[in-house]
């Protein structure tokens, strides 16, 4: 199972001018849903990964220290309290 943004699905992509058998229609709907890109559940929920967080300090060996909860974290951990770092190249 994958998480998609269902609001991006355009049902008009499967409607054609000719009648369609149920089997063909089902396959068309399945393909339309399957072809949608996946979304990141952490970002969709408003959180961020520790590696992206401005409150994380790199301790080395894929370990970060979180200044919010004051403990070591893995770089692929996440939470809803963190904030993404500002893009360092945004001013360029």
84 found inside a domain:
no
**Residue 73, beta-bridge partner list:** 64
The region of weakest confidence among 4-8, 11-15, 49-53 is: 11-15
32 found inside a domain:
no
Average pLDDT score over residue span 42-66: 89
18 found inside a domain:
no
The overall average pLDDT reported for the chain is 83
61 found inside a domain:
yes
Range of the domain at 75: 43-79
87 found inside a domain:
no
pLDDT above 90 covers what percent of the chain?
26
pTM greater than the 0.85 cutoff: no
Q: Residues of 41-65 as b/e, b for ≥16 C-beta within 10 angstroms?
A: ebeeeebbbbbbbebbeeeeeeebe
Residues in the chain: 92
Does residue 68 carry a pLDDT above 70?
yes
Q: How many domains does the chain have?
A: 1
10 found inside a domain:
no
65 found inside a domain:
yes
Does residue 59 carry a pLDDT above 80?
yes
57 found inside a domain:
yes
Does residue 19 carry a pLDDT above 80?
no
């Amino acid at each position: 199972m994958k998480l998609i943004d269902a609001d991006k699905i355009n049902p008009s992509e499967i409607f054609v001018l000719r009648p369609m058998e149920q089997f063909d229609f089902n396959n068309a709907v399945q393909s339309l849903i399957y072809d949608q890109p996946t979304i990141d559940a952490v970002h969709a929920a408003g959180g961020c990964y520790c590696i992206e967080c401005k409150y994380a300090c790199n301790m080395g060996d894929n370990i970060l220290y979180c200044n919010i909860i004051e403990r070591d974290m893995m770089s692929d951990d996440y939470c809803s309290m963190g904030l993404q770092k500002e893009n360092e190249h945004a001013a360029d």
